[in-house]
Amino acid sequence: MASFGVDTRPAAAGEGALSFLSRSLREDLRLIRARAGELETFLSAPVPEPDLFARLRRAYNTTSSSGSAASGIGRTCLDLSAIGKAFEAEVGRGWGAKTGWRWEDEDAAEWEPIRAVKARLRDLDRKRQDQASDVLHKVKLSLKSMSFAPEASEEVPPLDLNELLAYFLKQSVPLFDQLGIKRDVCDKLVESLCSKRKDHFAYDPLSTSESSSFRNDNTCDELDLRIASVLQSTGHHYEGGFWDDGQKYDVADKRHVAIVTTASLPWMTGTAVNPLFRAAYLAKSSKQYVTLMVPWLCKSDQELVYPNNMTFSSPEDQETYIRNWLEERVGFKTDFRISFYPGKFQKERRSIIPAGDTSQFISSKEADIAILEEPEHLNWYHHGKRWTDKFNHVVGIVHTNYLEYIKREKNGAIQAFFVKHINNLIARAYCHKVLRLSGATQDLARSMICNVHGVNPKFLEVGERIAAERESGEQSMSKGAYFLGKMVWAKGYRELIDLLAKHKTDLDGFKLDVYGNGEDSVEVQSAAKKLDLNLNFHKGRDHADDSLHGYKVFVNPSISDVLCTATAEALAMGKFVVCADHPSNDFFRSFPNCLVYTTSEDFVAKVKEAMTRDPQPLTPEQRYNLSWEAATQRFMEHSELDKVLSSNGDCASTSGNSVDRRMKKSASLPNMSDIVDGGLAFAHYCFTGSELLRLSTGAVPGTLNYNKQHSVDMHLLPPQVQNPVYGW
């Protein structure tokens, strides 16, 4: 087969397609001239020739004769267009005289040499374009690197000494708080250090949209933004602190809520009743699983705590009693789990202390959200896993003003000083959020005031019934005034006796019925008898008892309560309430039947006012504010539990990118507050691990771990197996 001289060697880098085509054609012409004789002999042979060869021969003869005539010499000149027309007639191809071969029909079969040339041309064009783009990109980079113009948008000034000191002071606020240094002092120092920098925060390394989103966030201030910009420019990413524990509950479609409290029915105390209602109404929505954890007392402790010598042989029996009591009052079937943890009763302070690590009785699979009722009480002697390490969200609810009780004891001022700082340490180290029922409690870290308690629905029903009877003309409140509460001096009995003794003549003829049991009952009755006060003492009873519905006035002079449940119940039943001007009563001031007195003389005036007129019926809004539905709604909002529960998987936050930016920012900042909190928790863990130190601070002996009787009652591993001691 004749060779048409297609040069398949790679062309030079800068050679174009047209140049390559011209060189190839010249090489073809040279070969054709060299073999012209052979081709002429072949074409003149007598053998029958194909139609294609006949056309080629005629074209060759025509071009040879015309070339000789035109040039006047014997040199052969081929007219390639004529040869192309011959090929076009055979295979339906077209020939471009200026641009080279051009194929019109892509589906027709190509001649092998022509197809190779086309493929080579395409490869050359592609390489030439790639090389040109690479050269252009390198030129741009070279010009950019040679530019010495400053770019303010990519340069972040380093932190100066004043900024470092200001940030250190700002992050050390928790430590200073433990040392008794007020937050205002630290804020003024930080402001003073920041103001010394002339171009303080003038540079904004973020885009306009990002900066506005940061500034619109109330949790960001300028110093944090400045630190974040510097860390961002260095590429630093904070992965977590020394105390962090990354192994936590994996968020599922339906969340788990564990409510841990310090008392249980049949002990009729606030920390036994209110958490029980909270669990019932949280579980009522069916949006989350709810578990209520209450202490289990051995039989010897039950006899000291529970009224009427009531005891239970097993946790199952006590759970049955609790459910029956609750469902009788709420009016619906409760759907939550009740579990128990070991506890011991402390006679001196009339309280239950957990025995062992309470958190171990909640499995890791369910350790999602924890609600600690009385977090300071639960964690005074807690020696176990840190709540905030095991749970994703921990909310503490402060029920009791412990400082007020402690101050009344011997050396109370010194004890109250230490307890105040221990409580603050616990709030910082073990809770993400703390809710205080009223301003009568200690101002703890991460805390806010909100009443998240409601009243038993039975009391609201009594109020509605009494209001209906009054409208029909019946006299439903024929009795006078009464006081109900646990008979200990701290529950308002001291204030009550002092007021009645001081204004004995002013309140001549005023009789007061007192209902309550307690360890100070003998002393209280003796004091009233000695002063010849007009007080009638009765045994304690449930506030919902029918015998109490006929009273019109509830007198409560207590100033040690945080939020008196009996006051809320009396208002729900439509009674007058005479109470002291105290932060514990702030929530009740908006109710028209709540008569608040400021002085002892005002107390006399309020009592006489309540005894001479009828109370107003509650409006629907006032009834709702006292209900557990409203209390649960307030709790969900102020504890941020509604946001936590809506943060599952595809439940994206409504704040969008701003939340992501805040999370990225917080993840890149080493938080001194977390380091301090972790250090405090570790120190507390070491302190509570010593039995000698525990006993020196008033702990019940043997509460570092549960005892053998607990293991038998609750079907637990023996304590020596659960917590073995090695080396003995």
Residues 471-504 pLDDT 10s:
887 777 788 899 998 898 888 899 999 999 999 8
The whole-angstrom separation of Cα 705 and Cα 342 is 9
Evaluate whether residue 48 is within a structural domain. Answer: no
Mean pLDDT computed over every residue of the chain: 77
Evaluate whether residue 33 is within a structural domain. Answer: no
Evaluate whether residue 125 is within a structural domain. Answer: no
Residue 602: both structure tokens together = 């005002």
Same-domain status, 432 and 557: no
pLDDT of the residue at 138: 65
C-alpha dihedral, 126 to 129 to 132 to 137, nearest 10°: -100
pLDDT of the residue at 394: 95
* Averaged pLDDT, 467-473: 84
Same-domain status, 493 and 595: yes
Evaluate whether residue 180 is within a structural domain. Answer: yes
The whole-angstrom separation of Cα 81 and Cα 66 is 14
Same-domain status, 301 and 410: yes
Specify the long-range contacts of residues 691-700, CB closer than 8 Å, at least 24 apart. 694/381, 698/348, 698/349, 699/353, 699/380, 699/381, 700/344, 700/345, 700/346, 700/353, 700/355
Same-domain status, 593 and 705: no
Evaluate whether residue 381 is within a structural domain. Answer: yes
Same-domain status, 618 and 677: no
DSSP string, 698-716: TPPTT-SS--HHHHHHHTP
Residue 96: both structure tokens together = 């471009």
Evaluate whether residue 699 is within a structural domain. Answer: yes
Domain boundaries, position 535: 457-626
Q: Write the CA distances from 237 to 131, 657, 671, integer angstroms.
A: 39, 19, 12
Question: Which residues on adjacent β-strands are paired with residue 292?
Answer: 259, 338
Of 591, 607, 626, the one marking the end of a domain is 626
pLDDT of the residue at 645: 82
DSSP string, 359-416: GGGS-GGG-SEEEEESHHHHHTT--SS-HHHH-SEEEEEE---HHHHHHTSTTHHHHH
In this prediction, residue 244 has a pLDDT band, given cuts at 50, 70 and 90, of low
CB-based contact 568:455 (threshold 8 Å): yes
Task: Write the CATH number for 616.
Answer: 3.40.50.2000
Same-domain status, 494 and 574: yes
In the chain, the number of structural domains is 3
Evaluate whether residue 619 is within a structural domain. Answer: yes
Most confidently modeled range among 90-94, 311-315, 640-644:
311-315
- Mean pLDDT lowest for which of 141-150, 496-505, 686-695, 705-714? 141-150
Same-domain status, 305 and 447: yes
Of 626, 645, 660, the one marking the end of a domain is 626
Same-domain status, 342 and 420: yes
pLDDT of the residue at 577: 95
Dihedral angle sign, alpha carbons of residues 663, 667, 670, 673: positive
Same-domain status, 473 and 597: yes
Same-domain status, 449 and 461: no
Quick one: DSSP state of residue 358? G
pLDDT of the residue at 567: 93
pTM for this prediction = 0.65
pLDDT of the residue at 197: 58
pLDDT of the residue at 283: 92
Evaluate whether residue 96 is within a structural domain. Answer: no
